[in-house]
Amino acid sequence: MLKRRIPMSRSRGSQSVQDREVRLQQRAQRQLESAKATAHLRANASMSVPNPALGMPVHKEDVQTSEAYRRAVAGLRCIWCGIQGYSQHAHLNQGKGMGLKTDDRTGFPLCCARPGIEGCHVAYDQYRLVEGGRDGHRAYGKEWGRITRAEIQNLGLWPTKLPLWQETTLE
């Protein structure tokens, strides 16, 4: 059974509204001061990625994104289990982070989650699909990316505007 909410007494209404307005104004002032104090950090972050170990900015690599390539990859069989029709473009789990993207050309097809089945993509992203820890995980991902790039080229599905991948780029 649902209980009805009983409205608060309105006898203190005007005082409560005033107190609330004061609290909201104080909160807004604190947030503004905090934003001003860290504004220089956000402005510099858009130009480069900070390297906390060195305290110096690190130049971002020229990552390529291509919807056509991602769709071509998703059209392939899952590279781990071989199921057709459920693949997604999975990114290599290396070089990613907040505000960092990985090159779409490093991706490979892994199947998605579906009713009653976890899917290889989920297991890969949680480092449970292959053995060998993160090193083994990345080694598989690099090899799968190489295989996928070759397959996309052999099938004639490589997007014309997307530069070809230089295999020495990802070492």
Q: Give the whole-angstrom CA distance, residue 55 versus residue 136.
A: 30
Task: For 91-107, write each residue's pLDDT tens digit.
Answer: 987 766 656 678 999 99
**Confidence band, pLDDT 50/70/90 cuts, at residue 2:** low
For residues 78 and 59, the model is more confident at: 78
- Band (pLDDT 50/70/90 cuts) for residue 3 is low
Q: What integer pLDDT is reported at residue 35 of this predicted model?
A: 74
Distance of CA 100 to the CA centre of its chain: 8
Q: Tens digits of per-residue pLDDT, 35-45?
A: 777 666 554 54
pLDDT at 27: 83
Q: Would you list the domain boundaries of the chain?
A: 67-154
User: DSSP per residue over 109-125, as a string?
Assistant: EEEPPBTTB--HHHHHH
Nearest-CA neighbor of 153 among 85, 162, 64? 162
| pLDDT value at 46 more than 70 | no
**CA distances in angstroms from 86 to 110, 137, 139, listed in the order given:** 8, 21, 23
Quote the mean pLDDT of the chain.
81
> What pLDDT is recorded for position 166?
86
Give CA–CA dist 142/168, Å, rounded. 11
What residues pair up with 90 in beta bridges, in sequence order? 108
| Sign of the dihedral defined by the CA atoms of residues 69, 74, 75, 80, in that order | positive
0.85 surpassed by pTM? no
Question: Which 3 state secondary structure label does DSSP give 18?
Answer: helix
Q: 165: buried, middle or exposed (CB in 10 Å: 19+, 13-18, 0-12)?
A: buried
Per-residue pLDDT, 16? 79
* Per-residue pLDDT at 119 exceeds 70: yes
